[in-house]
Amino acid sequence: MTTTMTQIFWTAAVVAVLVTILEMLFGSKRRGGPSIIVGVVLLVAGGILAAADHQTVVGLVPYIDTIREFRFARDIVGFFGGALFLGCGLFGRLATGTARDQIFRLHGAMAMAHQDLKSAQELLNSVVRSSISGVMILQAIRDESGVVIDFTCRLMNHEAEQILGRAAATLLGQPLLKHVPCLRREGFFNDAVSVIEMKLPYMDERQCRHGDRQRWYQVAIVKHGDGVVANFADVSDRKRTEEQLRHAAEHDTLTGLPSRSLLTDRLQQAINRAKRMPGYEFAVLFLDFDRFKIINDSLGHEVGDQLLISIAERLRANLRDIDTPVRLDEGHLPARLGGDEFVILLDGIDGPRAAVIVAERLQEALSKPHILDGHEVISTASIGIVINDGKYENPDEILRDADTAMYQAKSSGKARHVVFDETMHNEVMQRLTLEKELRAAAEELQFTLVFQPIIAMDTAALSGFEALIRWPHSERGTVLPANFIALAEELGLIVPIGQWVLREACGQLKTWQKLHHGPRPLYMCVNLSKQQLIDANLVSSVEGVLANTGIAPSSLVLEITESTVMDNLVDLQPVLTRLRKSGVRIAMDDFGTGHSSLSFLQNAPMDILKIDRSFVSGGGNPRDYGAIIHTVIQLAHNLEMDVVAEGIETVEQLAMLQSLDCNFGQGYLFSKPVKPEHAVKYLDRDFRFTVQAEGTDLIAREQSEEKAA
């Protein structure tokens, strides 16, 4: 049996070899044909041998002299071999050319893929070795239960050697943690194991010690077979640059103090902490320096910058001396918002009184002289204080209220501190509403003019009018100038409003001059603010109004307050001179309120002097100021100036002024300010003012309001 199987095996092998040879020699055009022919021949021969007797066969083939050899030739070679040849031929014949081509192409593709894989492996090794990042290929080491317990290093480049401080020769094929135990301490081992188990890549930046320095590395780990590929990139320079940029964004470049962004972040943290911790308290101090603008303008911006730096140093020094706050990791935070505005976050205080004590200590320290570039500079601070009461939701609300309290301190006399309360907020909201309404009124010119007569003291006849602005408000009623002119100046609205007043007043004067036939031409007094005086277009605007209305320049009197002239005489003198050259007359209004010397009048280019009502009233006894008024009138007359007394309310005041040879007067004794239609009756040439020409039913409240106007 064993011999037969062996014979069959070798017969099949021989047949396979012969089939391959036949196909290679003859089967390029008709695949399988030669094998089929050989197989048929062998099968026919086997059949003939099976039909013939033994003797006949021996006679034909002398070498076959045994039954065994005869049967082998017939069965194995003839039948089995023929069947194999025939089967191989038929298979080759039946297989399509496309299938064979696909097989050949697949073989070619596999060969090419193998070559590409080999090239890729060589490229990978080259990239890994030449990479500027540290690269390691690690194979997992598992225990009997399949748990990863360590890694074997299969490949590492030069940068990895530098980072780990180990030569590749000492780590390749060795357990990694045994030689570099810090990888477990730094968390690298656990990260690598999680990549293998989760089959997800890992990336992070971490700080590790490299020699005697701390370095930042970007670590990327990806799964590779039953192991990982780890990449270590040194990003210390980038992290250092990011830290510098972050510091620059969060700190003031001049003083080095935190800026608004960092302050806002810390304030939000304090707000959140206060909501979580009922016992936690903090406060905010808003500082503004009272004389900084004057110092900056007079001594220069360089000295101003030195002052800001000196202030910042004092803030740091004094906050360090304050008792340690609750939060030891951060503590109190001084910051600069811009200009001369500083904010201090008192983080963790013991009640509102502690914030007030800090403010007092800071004011004392900041009020001491600063020696800057050879100058001794003193600049006190006005401080607004806000104590957290749990109602605040964001930093802007706290800074808003602290700013409000600071302005309250500044308006109360400067160099002081004020703790914010809710009434201040209400006042601010009212002011904001008034600002909005005033802007709309200025845009739409929602104003009216009333006119107070100016009387010639010698004849009691009408000489002119003073134009006074009013703001008719739908809810507030008639708003007097004292309640909105200062705000208009602050908002930069006074120039367009003043131009409107000038046009309306001159237009009204032109109308009245046509109706008036008195011995003297009527004139109109119009008030000018400081902002109007420094406006470069003032003279051209006045000349344009005069040209458009056609009134004589001498019939227009521009009134300027004494304080405005005193504070800015050098700057205003060229403007006032140009106005006078155009024919317009200039009046000094409210004389006596600015406490100027009488010699001051000699240098002021004025035509009319208006004595303030406070001198006329004389504290209830007009004669108390009689001597002063007499001196003023005499000096004005010597300087060829007319004198107008304001606020005449009693007959005694009138008599005194007449006896002192005062030229003109105005006040409630003659008439309160009236609308244009009510002033027409004063234009009759025979009209003379008597005591209370408007009647005796003047309301005391109106009197006090008009005094304020």
Q: CATH no. for residue 211?
A: 3.30.450.20
Location of structure tokens 């023929």: 82
Is the pLDDT confidence value at 583 over 90?
A: yes
Is the pLDDT confidence value at 313 over 50?
A: yes
Residue 387 and residue 321 share a domain: yes
pLDDT (mean) for 169-182: 80
Spatial contact of 310 and 370, defined as CB atoms under 8 Å apart: yes
Spatial contact of 657 and 666, defined as CB atoms under 8 Å apart: no
Specify the higher pLDDT residue, 240 or 559.
Answer: 559
Location of structure tokens 């609300």: 397
Q: Give tens-digit pLDDT for 373-425.
A: 888 888 889 999 999 887 889 999 999 999 999 988 888 888 889 999 888 87
Is the pLDDT confidence value at 705 over 50?
A: no
Q: Give tens-digit pLDDT for 652-687.
A: 889 889 999 999 999 999 999 999 999 888 888 778
Q: Is residue 349 part of a domain?
A: yes
Spatial contact of 575 and 560, defined as CB atoms under 8 Å apart: no
Q: Give tens-digit pLDDT for 335-387.
A: 998 888 999 999 888 888 889 999 999 999 998 999 888 888 888 899 999 99
Name the strand (E) or helix (H) holding 581: helix 562-581
Residue 382 and residue 279 share a domain: yes
**pLDDT score, position 542:** 95
> Amino acid letter at 532?
Q
pLDDT (mean) for 40-46: 62
**pLDDT score, position 124:** 53
Residue 314 and residue 373 share a domain: yes
Distance CA 362, CA 382 (A): 10
Q: Is residue 415 part of a domain?
A: yes
User: What does the DSSP assignment read for 436-472?
Assistant: HHHHHHHHHT--EEEEEEEEETTT--EEEEEEEEEEE
Q: Which of helix, strand or coil describes residue 135?
A: strand
| CB-count burial class (<10 Å; 0-12, 13-18, 19+) for 236 | middle
Phi, psi of 112 (to 5 degrees): -65, -40
Residue 313 and residue 341 share a domain: yes
Q: Between 395-411 and 260-276, two packed helices, what is the crossing angle to 10 degrees?
A: 110
- Tokens representing 679? 């002033």
**pLDDT score, position 49:** 58
Spatial contact of 67 and 54, defined as CB atoms under 8 Å apart: yes
Is the pLDDT confidence value at 22 over 70?
A: no
CB atoms within 10 A of CB 100: 12
Is the pLDDT confidence value at 511 over 90?
A: yes
Is the pLDDT confidence value at 164 over 90?
A: no
Spatial contact of 655 and 428, defined as CB atoms under 8 Å apart: no
297: nearest Cα among 379, 400, 389: 379
Spatial contact of 709 and 486, defined as CB atoms under 8 Å apart: no
Q: Is residue 429 part of a domain?
A: no
Residue 406 and residue 307 share a domain: yes
Q: Which of helix, strand or coil describes residue 403?
A: helix
Residue 262 and residue 150 share a domain: no
* Residue where a domain stops, chosen among 654, 670, 686: 670
* Residue where a domain stops, chosen among 126, 148, 174: 126
Q: Is residue 183 part of a domain?
A: yes
What order do you get walking across the sheet with 148-156 strand by strand? 148-156, 134-142, 227-234, 213-223, 202-210
Residue 363 and residue 334 share a domain: yes
* Range with the poorest average pLDDT among 2-16, 210-224, 334-348, 468-482: 2-16
* Range with the poorest average pLDDT among 19-23, 173-177, 291-295, 353-357: 19-23
Cα dist from 479 to 92, 546, 699, whole Å: 114, 29, 17
160: nearest Cα among 183, 190, 193, 185: 183
**pLDDT score, position 123:** 52
Burial code (b: 16+ CB inside 10 Å, e: under 16) for 375-385 equals eebebebbbbb
Residue ranges making up the domain that contains 327? 251-420
pTM: 0.55
Q: Is residue 560 part of a domain?
A: no
Distance CA 346, CA 285 (A): 8
Q: Give tens-digit pLDDT for 234-249.
A: 787 787 877 777 777 7
Is the pLDDT confidence value at 50 over 70?
A: no
Location of structure tokens 């270590």: 232
Residue 138 and residue 66 share a domain: no
Q: First-to-last CA distance in the chain?
A: 139
Query: Can you give the three-state secondary structure of 61-109, one letter per residue?
Result: CCCCCCHHHHHHHHHHHHHHHHHHHHHHHHHHHHCCHHHHHHHHHHHHH
**pLDDT score, position 581:** 92
**Mean of all residue pLDDT scores within the chain:** 79
Q: Is residue 139 part of a domain?
A: yes
Residue 312 and residue 229 share a domain: no
Task: Indicate the number of domains in the chain.
Answer: 5
Q: Is residue 494 part of a domain?
A: no
**pLDDT score, position 709:** 43
CB atoms within 10 A of CB 513: 19
- Tokens representing 216? 């930042």
Residue 213 and residue 315 share a domain: no
Residue 291 and residue 413 share a domain: yes
Torsion angle of the four alpha carbons 561, 567, 573, 576, in this order, in degrees rounded to the nearest 10: -20
pLDDT (mean) for 419-444: 87
Is the pLDDT confidence value at 588 over 80?
A: yes
Q: Is residue 703 part of a domain?
A: no
Spatial contact of 465 and 524, defined as CB atoms under 8 Å apart: yes
Distance CA 10, CA 691 (A): 154
Spatial contact of 440 and 446, defined as CB atoms under 8 Å apart: yes
**pLDDT score, position 698:** 34
Phi, psi of 201 (to 5 degrees): -70, 160
Residue 355 and residue 306 share a domain: yes
Spatial contact of 557 and 586, defined as CB atoms under 8 Å apart: yes
Is the pLDDT confidence value at 257 over 70?
A: yes
Spatial contact of 406 and 286, defined as CB atoms under 8 Å apart: yes
